[in-house]
Amino acid sequence: MTRTGILGMTFPSDREILLTRTVNAPRQLVYRAWTTPGLVRQWWAGRRGEMTVAEMDFRVGGAWRYVMVAHGGFEVAFHGTYREIVPNERIVHTEIMETPGPAPDSDEGAVVNTVTFSDADGGATLVSIRTDAGSKEVRDLIARSGMEGGVREQFELLEELAQNPG
């Protein structure tokens, strides 16, 4: 029996965070939920707020931008650029949390995420997110930000969507 629902978080190097989770749904449906703006709007904020923007120019060199209004009324925004896309297998993109400073189209301060989708037992999908934060300090800041709980919620909602593609 495949263990689903367990989020793994490790630190493969001083600069990296590796998140893994087995999703109880076929790989093509998990990938679809990950790459379709209308579906991303339903899972990306987890249970911590509401997505107001899910813009995706889903192609190598294309940009993405997600904005959510968190419970409590504050807005959180992220953006990045797609560097590599292998359908149903791998997505590499930059990610920047928008703060006063770098221009929205700048990669200054970006982390690089490599998301892989692979078959797991029982028709499930293993999703791995390897984040290269660029430094130990940034890696540790991300790890302490509470993102682990948010990612756990994201995966719960993503799994529901992938299981019920309607």
Helices (H), 84-146: 136-143
Residue 3 lies in a domain: no
Residue 132 lies in a domain: yes
Residue 99 lies in a domain: yes
In 57-105, at which residue ranges do the beta strands (DSSP E only) sit?
A: 63-70, 75-86, 90-97
Measuring CA to CA, which residue among 141, 86, 138, 133 is closest to residue 112? 133
Q: pTM for this structure? A: 0.88
Query: What range does the domain containing 150 cover?
Result: 8-163
Number of domains making up the chain: 1
What pLDDT is stored for residue 97 in this prediction?
86
Residue 1 lies in a domain: no
Residue 71 lies in a domain: yes
CATH number, domain of 19, equals 3.30.530.20
pLDDT digits (tens, 9 = 90+) for 5-38: 788 999 999 999 999 999 999 999 999 999 999 9
Residue 101 lies in a domain: yes
